Amino acid sequence: MRQNPSFTLASEEGVKRLIREHPWMTIVSMTDAAGLVASHYPVLLDETADGIVLLTHVGRPDEVVHELARHEVMVIAQGPHGYISPGWYDANPAVPTWNFVTAHLYGTPGLLEHDENLRVLEALVDHFEGPMPEPRRMRGTAEDSAYADRIATGTVGLRIPITRFVAKNKMSQNKPAETVNRIIGELEGDGPYASAALAAEMRRTHEALRAARA
């Protein structure tokens, strides 16, 4: 991913926030058998670990297709993104762009034993069911628990310690404040490229910039 100093996201905590808020990720492997392979899975942070450590699972036979534990993989985290029209700038000549926040994370997966895989699956269910008015837990009933144990045999748990990452947060940091405010206003509107999530990410980025300068 091409870097620009204005948009570099170098903070480990910033990358962790991206993972927590946008846990649906792409796992990319360069394999001996099939070349490039990509799959998509929900990912959680191991909040007890030092650094960035990802916990997830794949459905069989993805562990074979990706040749997991044999080599490094790239995991792509993608946050809010969207089209930015030059019509939102000013009267000066301009071209459109795309604002986004994303991270490429690299590490070699370790395969989890069956019991640890079950704990990761349960943590994933608890994480996503937690906001529901009546959460359906993996161990909520004896029937659910037995069913989950059977289904889990078709999955392989992964722990991926991240050894390096490249991340980018492009939120119009190179534009003057009045232009940034117009862009946020358009994103919060009802036009064809409105995006409340992207507007919120832009606000957070520019508030942090103002606080750093103060």
User: Using 50, 70 and 90 to split pLDDT, how confident is the model at 143?
Assistant: very high
Contact criterion met (CB below 8 Å) for 193 and 82: yes
Dist CA 188 CA 132 (whole Å): 27
The answer to whether the peptide bond before residue 176 is cis (omega within 30 degrees of 0) is no
Q: Is the pLDDT of residue 4 over 90?
A: no
**67's torsion region: left (phi>0), alpha (psi -120 to 50) or beta?**
left
Over 90: is that where the pLDDT of 182 sits? yes
d(CA 39, CA 27): 5
Query: What phi and psi, each to the nearest 5 degrees, are found at residue 127?
Result: -60, -45
Q: Categorize the per-residue pLDDT at 3 as very low, low, confident or very high, splitting at 50, 70 and 90.
A: confident
Q: State how far Cα 128 lies from the chain centre.
A: 15
Which single residue is written with the structure tokens 């997830």?
A: 56
Radius of gyration, alpha carbons of the chain? 20
pTM: 0.95
d(CA 19, CA 7): 18
